[in-house]
Structure 1
Amino acid sequence: MVPALLQTSRLQLRRWREADLEAFARISADPVAMHHLLPIGDRTASDAFARRAEAHFEQHGFGFWAVELLSTQEFIGFVGLVNVGYDAHFTPAVEVGWRLHPDYWGYGYATEAAKRALRDGFERLDLKEIVALTVPANSRSRRVMERLGMTRDEDDDFDHPRVPDGHPLKRHVLYRLPRSSP
């Protein structure tokens, strides 16, 4: 059974609401937030992403949670787990991912929420390993991965099959966290 929400001392990870879509569209259109990601497109595409995230919960029992600050109930982005949806040397796999509005970077929110999502993945879902990936230049996300205890083996780096050949975001680094990690 999917929990209604996950909580940390400062954050609530909950299912998506219609009211989140406008704020998520702003995040998805923000050039700073999207600097190391392929563009999502317009509001329709942003809404479709959020609906796919919610559908992932229905189909698999986990997904990208909408994240809000407990103190204000303000939606600040998403964090959670998803099945990797393409073939690569490390699939099948479950990925931890996040996207927060840049106004909320630097406060430890991504790490805090991701730790909670990882705990859910290892305890409730009984996953053996969770991966994370990004482009080599995304030092902020890589630091979060390292704070989570994830490790990288350069032999795992790969060309992302959903990024066009020749695109500067094609190459990705892969981080792994086995269940036995603290």
Structure 2
Amino acid sequence: MPTTLSTDRLTLRTYADADADALFDLHSRVEVQRWLGDGKPMTDVAQARASIVRRREVPYHEPMGIWAIDFEGRLVGTLLLKPIPISGTPQAADSSNPKFALDSPEIEIGWHLHPDVWGKGIATEAATRVLEHASALPRIVAVTYPQNLPSQRVTARLGMRDAGLTDRYYNLTMRLFVLERGRLDVAR
């Protein structure tokens, strides 16, 4: 389970069983899911419960993890730092499997938030805190759908370099952003 981290406004913590309704609310929204995985919204709170169990069972090693983001006493999103699945690998074929791509040499940072808190700087703040926590990692990548301009703006605020389009990850063509050792002086 990941280390609990905090900022002035946020707590980043392990997912709890009590988060199921809020997680379902987040992942049942088309506007959130369009940027994630297969793009299919959750249709039942049981899917959220199963997702919470998977998030807690993934054997990531420090400083990696999947964090629930709390803002003003409520779950508003997820921040992750984990191995990224390489396209064409058997593991990448089933992204619903929490143990896929654990041997990937690349580490990905990613986030998704409830639409009620978009534009409040929460993704940047949460990612900044996790990058500080993971300052010993030599290279971190982020990928976005080419049309996901809000997330691309977050990567810029984090000091990540735009490395162009790639089909190296998730069996998709994505825009790649890279943060390398020496560039971990995260913009606030």
Q: Shorter chain as normaliser: what TM range?
A: 0.7 to 0.9
User: Which residue of structure 2 lines up, in the alignment, with residue 6 of structure 1?
Assistant: 5
> 1:80-139 CA deviation, whole Å, 9 max, x = no partner?
311113347xx52111111110000000000000000111112xxx21111100110000
Please state whether the residue corresponding to 2:31 is helix, strand or coil: coil
Q: 1:171 to 1:22 in 2, by over 3 A?
A: same
Choose from 171, 179, 182 the match for 2:181: 179
Choose from 160, 166, 179 the match for 1:150: 160
Please state whether the residue corresponding to 2:119 is helix, strand or coil: coil
Choose from 135, 145, 148 the match for 2:145: 135
Q: Counterparts of 1:127 and 1:116 in 2: how far apart (Å)? A: 14
Q: Counterparts of 1:84 and 1:36 in 2: how far apart (Å)? A: 16
Q: 1:36 to 1:42 in 2, by over 3 A?
A: same
> 1:17-52 CA deviation, whole Å, 9 max, x = no partner?
111111111110111112222225433433333322
Choose from 103, 109, 125 the match for 2:122: 109
Q: Counterparts of 1:82 and 1:59 in 2: how far apart (Å)? A: 7
RMSD (Å) for aligned C-alpha atoms: 2.2
**Which 5+ residue runs of structure 1 have no aligned equivalent?**
163-169
Is 2:81 the counterpart of 1:81?
yes
User: Which residue of structure 2 lines up, in the alignment, with residue 39 of structure 1?
Assistant: 40
Residues matched between the structures, number: 166
**How far apart are residue 63 of structure 1 and its match?**
1.1
Q: What is the TM-score normalised by the length of structure 2?
A: 0.79
Please state whether the residue corresponding to 2:120 is helix, strand or coil: coil
Q: What is the TM-score normalised by the length of structure 1?
A: 0.81
* Letter aligned with residue 27 of structure 1: L
User: Which residue of structure 2 lines up, in the alignment, with residue 63 of structure 1?
Assistant: 65
Q: 1:39 to 1:85 in 2, by over 3 A?
A: same
Q: Counterparts of 1:55 and 1:145 in 2: how far apart (Å)? A: 28
Please state whether the residue corresponding to 1:78 is helix, strand or coil: strand
Is 2:134 the counterpart of 1:121?
yes
Q: 1:157 to 1:86 in 2, by over 3 A?
A: closer
Q: 1:2 to 1:103 in 2, by over 3 A?
A: closer
